[in-house]
Amino acid sequence: MSTPLKLLIQAGNPLISIQTSDEPRVLDMIRELARSLARPLMEWSLTDGLTPIDGQGIRQSAIAETTLPAKALEHLRQCIGTHLFVLKDLGPHGKDPRIQRLMRDLVHTFSDNRSTIILVDAAGLPDDINRLAVRHEVPWPTPEELEAVLRDTFKRIRKESIYEVSSNINKREMEQLVHTLRGLTCAEAERVVAAAIYDDYCLDAADLPRIIEAKRTLLGSAGCLESIAVDFSVDDVGGLDNLKAWLKQRRGGFTAEAHQFGLEPPRGVLMLGIPGCGKSLCAKAVAADWNMPLLRLDPGVLYQKFVGESESQLRQALAQAEAMAPVILWVDEIEKAFASASASSADGGLSQRMFGTLLSWMQDHRHPIFIIATANDVSALPPELMRKGRFDEVFFIDLPTQAARERILSIHIERRRRDPAAFNLPRLAETAADFSGSEIEQAVVSALFAAFRDRSELTDDHIVAELNKTQPLAILMQERIAELRQWAENRCVPAD
């Protein structure tokens, strides 16, 4: 945890660097600190020059001829007393030798008179200037701040709107909305909440999916994380009853009520199994059921050609997940990212370092992040990943049972706008023995094409014909699947 900004100022640090995407909030924070410490405050930008800020946070007239960085810094040298100076976006000017010299002189001078320069968004400063600065990380808005933003936005819209604006939200729903806004700046949260209210001029629990989608769209994809649209529900997953019951039991694990009850938030699950049996679908279903955004970590983007860049990519991805929490973090086919971490490799130990970073983070992080890792090849997984504490449970997802196949057929037939009751589902499910869920779906799709070609309605015979044409993966990879089942027998919990 970083030292509070107030303590850094009181300790006499002459130069503090803050990089942030939420400049208005940081400026408000500094103005409040200046008021509480009874220190004169000036702000500088290339457009306005040096501008004094009074004790009420109101901007005064700018000081003439201080828009140029060198002129502004020379003016700071003449200020008598203990001040706070906020310099915005000084970084691009830091390559100027005159600016570098002035900054060194000011740091020396302010060490004696205990004034402080705060660089906001100070990217690009030379290393020798950066070494003089103390880096301060501004935390994301707290739940209390976000709740205040939500309430203030509602009050503002109700006051300004010509239509009646209502609210029908209880304490628990308010808590869910606030948690969903985490990872946004106050300004971003205000815009997201305003859009949800203007949609129907009402703030209620129905706005939660809208806010999740707006947040997903706003943040988009960055680095190795991809924000996934959630268009499934748990009912769209056939079978896997044990896994569904386990997830349902932990649905409210991230709430304040669960914390007060003494519960630790759920950490995640590792799902091993046969390809095409619903592991990826479950990740989307959990996100939909728990009303949480879904982020997918793409292992293929992690590895870069320059030394240190791969580790940086992983750290940035994990930091972004923390900033967006509460979220579901889906690590798809985790064995592909860290396969060589379980054996000697020719990558100079990169996989081991990456794997160590991920394990340490999984063990130590305290953010509301639920990890869903999926894997097809258990032999490639390092054994450290499997122990308790990394994941809450390890599930094995086998080929669907007869009942599960009937449910899968029903789902896909209904999705194609047909009535499942018009089909002999037990017969079709029996014909689809040893088929995975994705193979059953493709059989239904192919049967629909066949019916369209024949200019007839879809029938059982169309689906049976397509099933008989398909050689399922369970037959093509019979030995490997048998080995996988044997390995999982006493090591994993059956998902069905």
Domains observed in the chain: 5-135 (3.40.50.300), 143-219 (1.10.8), 228-397 (3.40.50.300), 402-476 (1.10.8.60)
The pLDDT assigned to 306 comes to 46
Q: Does residue 346 carry a pLDDT above 60?
A: no
- As a whole number of angstroms, the distance between CA 218 and CA 179 comes to 16
pLDDT at site 10:
93
C-alpha–C-alpha distance, residues 273 and 266, integer Å? 22
Sort residue 222 into left (φ over 0), alpha (ψ -120 to 50) or beta: beta
| pLDDT of 305 higher than 50 | no
Residue 33 makes CB contacts below 8 A (sequence gap 6+) with: 5, 6, 9, 84
Strand order in the sheet with 134-135: 49-53, 41-45, 84-88, 116-120, 15-18, 134-135
Q: Rounded distance, CA 474 to CA 476, Å?
A: 6
pLDDT surpasses 90 at 118: yes
What are the C-alpha distances in Å from 54 to residues 7, 32, 58?
22, 11, 5
**Residue 215: per-residue pLDDT:** 74
CA distance linking residue 147 with residue 318, whole number of Å: 25
Query: Is it the case that residue 352 has pLDDT exceeding 90?
Result: no
pLDDT over 60 (residue 1): no
Nearest to 33 by CA among 118, 140, 119: 118
Q: Does the pLDDT value for residue 222 go beyond 60?
A: no
Q: How far is CA 378 from the centre of its chain?
A: 26
Which region among 57-71, 76-90, 389-403 has the lowest average model confidence (pLDDT)? 389-403
